[in-house]
Amino acid sequence: MSLAETEDQLLIAVEDDGPGVNSEALPTLGTRGMRLDEQTPGHGLGLAIAREITERYDGSLSFSIGSHGGLKAMACFPGGDIGNSQ
């Protein structure tokens, strides 16, 4: 996990070293009910909820292949300079 802050944005990146996701499937991640791993129990809501929370704070959530081959999620929020906000 990493956190970076610039004058105009805050970036949060989370990356794992799991089996990853096929690059063609990346645009579908975060869609409510969409599950790529059917071998474990779940309803396909986790990434959709993360996307909705991010968007509620005027941010965006994107997915890519991480440096270790697993999934990388990047949340980007406008503003930056959080330490000086009122």
**Domain spans, the chain:** 2-81
| pLDDT at residue 52 in the model | 92
How far apart are the C-alpha atoms of 80 and 85, rounded to whole Å? Answer: 9
3-59 pLDDT, tens digit each: 999 889 999 999 988 887 888 888 878 777 666 665 566 666 788 889 999 999 999
How far apart are the C-alpha atoms of 42 and 38, rounded to whole Å? Answer: 8
Amino acid at 56: R
CATH code assigned to 2-81: 3.30.565.10
How far apart are the C-alpha atoms of 62 and 59, rounded to whole Å? Answer: 10
How far apart are the C-alpha atoms of 57 and 45, rounded to whole Å? Answer: 19
Please check whether residue 61 is in contact with residue 73, taking contact to mean a CB–CB distance below 8 angstroms: yes
The reply to whether the predicted model has a pTM over 0.95 is no
| pLDDT at residue 82 in the model | 52
